[in-house]
């Protein structure tokens, strides 16, 4: 066979992609999965694990070396998030949100000075950063932002609230980039601007952590702004560009959320497969029964399918192609697969699956938000339908 | 200073393994090849010395393996080693401990070294015989089972594990040490290390480039595997049941007495 520039369809990943995936798999097995039960029970943020990820360069995978990152591609990043989430979905979403939501806006829209000041410590993992889009009264209806920012001389005055903001209140959080309504556009719609709000801003506060069904070790908070003041220069990417910018950010974020769903689904599948081989009933392992075999075969099929969709979206992004449709399809499908797989994993475990001692019970709680966060299943279908010209 | 770490490439220790009845060798098909886990401790030990000495200290990975396994060495480079040398030649297939140590010694002499660091044993063959034989063929002192290795002022100082504690032993360089797991947990390859590893060199050496007298490979083997057998299945443990602790202790004591163990 002759090697050519365009080698056509090829399912091999590169040696570096494989090495990164393998490293993350080892970290998940050695450090993350063993800690997951306790972190979940205590709703404790995994500071030690995040410090280890930072030390190894995992908090800056896609960003160039000159900004403190590794300069790896989206495929590497997606595989890394998937393997880390296989250890624990909370750690997976911490990594995904840090990179795709907290850091990406600085990389894509920041000035050189903002990149040096904000992106470098984020890529090195010494600080985390929130992405404040959702509000208590505006989730997917993000254009209807209520948080108001008014320019008063050399500073902005911000009033309002943000909801469900990941990584916004840890000990190492440096701040949050928010969307705010900064005026009216000629067409009568709100002018939306991205503003950089450092953690120590007067009038800005992060509430205590939410009590959640799943993802309990991840840091999720409500943010409030009461005459919060930031310097006028803390605009990210230009006044009035906020709406378009966060839509772009969300497109990229979907690949990593698909990766979180996939990692979780893989963990649930592996637990169910192991249990099916060990658990005895009616004189044999339950994995010998067709009812269980078919469940596991379906789980395997769906995970494989979702993984191919995620990798295709990542590959398209790396190739500089339009990946919006693929990312949305992958995010939607992987979220639904994680629901079905985690559900069947509990079912295969029977009564034990309902007990906290078995990780599948945690997986079942962790999966639900995959169908809600970063664009619900319904919103993904809307995006896909619009791209179909409907 | 030039440190050479010997690394064996072995079938994944976590994979289920079979012995081929005909060749009496491990069936490797379908099993992933990985760095011998014990050698990762040797790499860790070498990197620690490199960090403590700084300057122009280098760590070279040396392996004798089929050419197809070359890329497996990339992991050692990602951990922080500077380069690698792969001694590979079809004629080396079937080498026993002596032949392996002999061929490796010729390759390592050619590569150059001040200190050779080996893992304690290989996960597959588990003879633990290569480090000692290698030191002999290199003509340098060998320090086996080291839990700590220090290099200062051109002198080697090690702690050798023994059944009852450890010995502190010093010696001159060049030398060879083999390390135990107490040397420290092998580090994870960082992402920078992984990305940088592709730029590092893995040179290959064939027998023709060395002064080898032909006594290598299966033909040169002085040992022969006569038979392969599974270890005997252990007898089921005998469970002593007793109404309370004292009676239980008595029953166990009687049992030991009956077997003349007390």
> How many domains are contained in chain A?
3
pLDDT value of residue B214: 67
Residues B260, B164: one domain? no
Q: Please enumerate in sequence order all residues whose Cβ is within 8 A of that of A126, keeping only pairs 6 or more positions apart, or say none.
A: A54, A172
Q: Hey, how many other C-beta atoms are within 10 angstroms of the C-beta on A123?
A: 29
In a domain, B91, yes or no: yes
Residues A89, A118: one domain? yes
Question: Which residue intervals of B31-151 are DSSP H helices?
Answer: 37-53, 74-79, 97-111, 130-138
3-class secondary-structure state, position A91 = helix
Residues B177, B102: one domain? yes
Whether residue A56 and residue B78 make contact (CB cut-off 8 A), yes or no, is no
Among A279, A242, A254, A307, residue whose Cα is nearest residue A79: A307
In a domain, B226, yes or no: no
Say which DSSP state A213 is in. S
Residues B38, B129: one domain? yes
**Confidence grade of residue A1 (pLDDT, cut at 50, 70, 90):** very low
A322 to chain B, any CB pair closer than 8 A? The answer is no
CA A253 vs CA A2, A128, A141, A343: distances in Å? 37, 16, 18, 25
Query: pLDDT tens across A359-369, in order?
Result: 999 999 999 99
Residues A234, A252: one domain? no
Question: Which residue intervals of chain A are DSSP H helices?
Answer: 15-27, 33-42, 47-55, 74-87, 89-96, 104-109, 112-114, 120-124, 242-278, 290-318, 324-349, 359-367, 377-387
pLDDT value of residue A8: 83
pLDDT value of residue B173: 94
A57 contacts on B by Cβ (under 8 Å): 190-192
In a domain, B225, yes or no: no
Q: d(Cα B77, Cα B74) in Å, to the nearest integer?
A: 5
Kindly state the tokens that stand for B118.
Answer: 């080996």
Residues A273, A211: one domain? no
Kindly state the tokens that stand for B175.
Answer: 């030398």
CA A179 vs CA A81, A106, A162, A243: distances in Å? 26, 14, 9, 8
pLDDT value of residue A305: 98
Residues B160, B247: one domain? no
Query: pLDDT tens across A276-305, in order?
Result: 999 999 999 999 999 999 999 999 999 999
pLDDT value of residue A45: 97
- Which residue's structure tokens are 């092998």? B186
A95 to chain B, any CB pair closer than 8 A? The answer is no
Residues A69, A195: one domain? no
Asked which of A76, A94, A128 is the last residue of a domain, the reply is A128
**Confidence grade of residue B126 (pLDDT, cut at 50, 70, 90):** confident
Residues A369, A296: one domain? yes
In a domain, B199, yes or no: yes
Q: How far is B197 from chain A (nearest CA, A)?
A: 9
Residues A269, A195: one domain? no
Residues B247, B214: one domain? no
- For residue B172, list its beta bridge partners: B155
Say whether pLDDT at B262 is over 70. yes
Whether residue B71 and residue A55 make contact (CB cut-off 8 A), yes or no, is no
* Test mutation, A12, A15, A18, A19, chain B, max B CBs within 10 A: A19
Q: Hey, how many other C-beta atoms are within 10 angstroms of the C-beta on A382?
A: 15
B34 to chain A, any CB pair closer than 8 A? The answer is no
Whether residue A56 and residue B190 make contact (CB cut-off 8 A), yes or no, is yes
Residues B10, B99: one domain? yes
A26 contacts on B by Cβ (under 8 Å): 188
Q: d(Cα A207, Cα A89) in Å, to the nearest integer?
A: 23
Residues A225, A262: one domain? no
Is A374 catalytic? The answer is yes
pLDDT value of residue A6: 62
Instruction: Please give the interface size between A and B, counted as residue pairs whose CB atoms are below 8 Å apart.
Output: 36
C-alpha A329: how far from chain center: 16
Say whether pLDDT at A224 is over 90. yes
Residues A265, A381: one domain? yes
> How many domains are contained in chain B?
2
Residues A77, A191: one domain? no
3-class secondary-structure state, position B6 = strand
> Is-contact B127 B254, C-beta < 8 A?
no
B35 to chain A, any CB pair closer than 8 A? The answer is no
Asked which of A66, A95, A128 is the last residue of a domain, the reply is A128
0.90 surpassed by complex ipTM:
no
Residue in A closest to B191 by C-alpha: A57
Cα diameter, chain B: 74
Whether residue A19 and residue B192 make contact (CB cut-off 8 A), yes or no, is no
Residues B141, B198: one domain? yes
Q: d(Cα A61, Cα B194) in Å, to the nearest integer?
A: 12
In a domain, A252, yes or no: yes
CATH of the domain at A225: 2.40.110.10
% of chain B exceeding 70 in pLDDT: 100
Query: pLDDT tens across A23-59, in order?
Result: 999 999 999 999 999 999 999 999 999 999 999 999 9
In a domain, A4, yes or no: no
Residues B136, B250: one domain? no
In a domain, A3, yes or no: no
Mean pLDDT across chain A, nearest whole number? 95
B77 to chain A, any CB pair closer than 8 A? The answer is no
B13 to chain A, any CB pair closer than 8 A? The answer is no
Residues A210, A254: one domain? no
Residues B37, B158: one domain? yes
* Test mutation, B194, B197, B202, chain A, max A CBs within 10 A: B194
CATH of the domain at A48: 1.10.540.10
Residues A154, A173: one domain? yes
- Give chain A's length: 390
Residues A69, A147: one domain? no
Residues B240, B171: one domain? no
Asked which of A199, A219, A242 is the last residue of a domain, the reply is A242
CATH of the domain at B154: 3.40.50.620
Kindly state the tokens that stand for A9.
Answer: 């369809």
B68 to chain A, any CB pair closer than 8 A? The answer is no
Residues B216, B236: one domain? no
Query: pLDDT tens across A123-144, in order?
Result: 999 999 999 999 998 887 877 8
Say whether pLDDT at A86 is over 80. yes
Q: Which domain holds residue B244?
A: 231-262
If residue B160 lies in a helix (H) or strand (E), which one and from where to where?
Answer: strand B155-161
Q: Which domain holds residue A383?
A: 244-387
User: What average pLDDT does this structure show over B191-214?
Assistant: 91
Residues B246, B201: one domain? no
């Amino acid at each position: 066979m002759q090697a050519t520039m365009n080698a056509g369809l090829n399912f091999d990943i590169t040696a570096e992609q494989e090495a990164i995936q393998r490293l993350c798999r080892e970290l998940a097995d050695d450090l993350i999965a063993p800690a997951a039960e306790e972190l979940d029970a205590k709703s404790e943020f995994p500071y030690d694990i995040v410090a280890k990820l930072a030390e190894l360069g995992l908090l800056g995978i896609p960003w160039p070396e000159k900004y403190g990152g590794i300069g790896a591609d989206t495929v590497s990043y997606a595989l890394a998030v998937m393997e880390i989430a296989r250890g624990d979905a909370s750690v997976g979403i911490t990594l995904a949100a840090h990179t795709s939501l907290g850091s990406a806006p600085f990389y894509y829209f920041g000035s050189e000075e903002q990149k040096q000041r904000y992106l470098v410590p984020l890529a090195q993992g010494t600080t985390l950063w929130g992405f404040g889009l959702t509000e208590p009264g505006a989730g997917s209806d993000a254009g209807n932002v209520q948080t108001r920012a008014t320019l008063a001389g050399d500073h902005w005055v911000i009033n309002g609230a943000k909801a469900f903001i990941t990584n916004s209140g840890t000990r190492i959080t440096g701040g949050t980039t928010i969307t705010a309504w900064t005026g009216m556009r000629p067409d009568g719609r709100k002018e939306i601007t991205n503003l950089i709000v450092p953690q120590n801003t007067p009038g800005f506060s992060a509430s205590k952590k939410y009590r959640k069904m799943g993802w309990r070790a991840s840091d999720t908070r409500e943010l409030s702004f009461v005459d919060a003041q930031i310097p006028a220069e803390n605009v990210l990417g230009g006044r009035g560009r906020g709406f378009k910018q966060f839509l772009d950010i969300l497109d990229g974020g979907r690949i990593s959320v698909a990766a979180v769903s996939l990692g979780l689904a893989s963990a649930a599948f592996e637990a169910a497969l192991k249990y099916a081989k060990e658990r005895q009933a009616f004189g044999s392992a339950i994995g010998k029964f067709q009812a269980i075999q078919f469940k596991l075969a379906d789980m395997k099929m769906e995970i494989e399918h979702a993984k191919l969709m995620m990798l295709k979206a990542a590959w398209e992004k790396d190739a500089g192609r339009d990946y919006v449709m693929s990312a949305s399809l992958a995010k939607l499908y992987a979220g639904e697969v994680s629901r079905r797989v985690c559900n069947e994993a509990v079912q295969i475990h029977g009564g034990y699956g309902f007990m906290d001692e078995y990780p599948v019970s945690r997986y079942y709680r962790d999966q639900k938000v995959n169908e809600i966060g970063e664009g619900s299943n319904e919103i993904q279908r809307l995006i896909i339908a619009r791209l179909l010209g409907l | 200073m030039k440190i050479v770490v010997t690394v064996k490439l072995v079938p994944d220790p976590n994979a289920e393994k079979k012995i081929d009845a005909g060749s009496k060798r491990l069936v490797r098909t379908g099993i992933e090849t990985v760095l011998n886990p014990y050698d990762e401790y040797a790499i860790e030990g070498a990197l620690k010395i490199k960090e403590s000495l700084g300057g122009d200290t280098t760590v070279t990975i040396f392996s004798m393996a089929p050419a197809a396994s070359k890329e497996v060495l990339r992991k050692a480079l990602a951990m922080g080693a500077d380069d690698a040398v792969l001694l590979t030649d079809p004629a080396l297939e079937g080498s026993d401990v002596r032949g392996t140590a002999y061929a490796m010694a010729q390759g390592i002499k050619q590569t150059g070294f001040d200190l050779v660091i080996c893992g304690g044993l290989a996960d597959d063959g588990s003879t633990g015989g290569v480090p000692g034989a290698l030191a002999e063929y290199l003509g340098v002192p060998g320090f086996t089972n080291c839990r700590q290795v220090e290099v200062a002022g051109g002198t080697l100082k090690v702690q050798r594990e023994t059944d009852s504690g450890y010995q502190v032993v010093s010696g001159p360089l060049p030398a060879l040490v083999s390390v135990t797991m107490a040397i420290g947990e092998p580090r994870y390859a960082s992402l920078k290390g992984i990305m940088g590893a592709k730029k590092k060199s893995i040179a290959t050496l064939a027998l023709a480039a060395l002064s080898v007298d032909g006594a290598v490979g299966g033909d040169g083997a002085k040992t022969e595997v006569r038979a392969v057998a599974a270890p005997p299945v252990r007898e089921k443990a005998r469970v002593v049941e007793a109404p309370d602790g004292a009676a239980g202790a008595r029953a166990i004591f009687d049992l030991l007495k009956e077997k003349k163990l007390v």
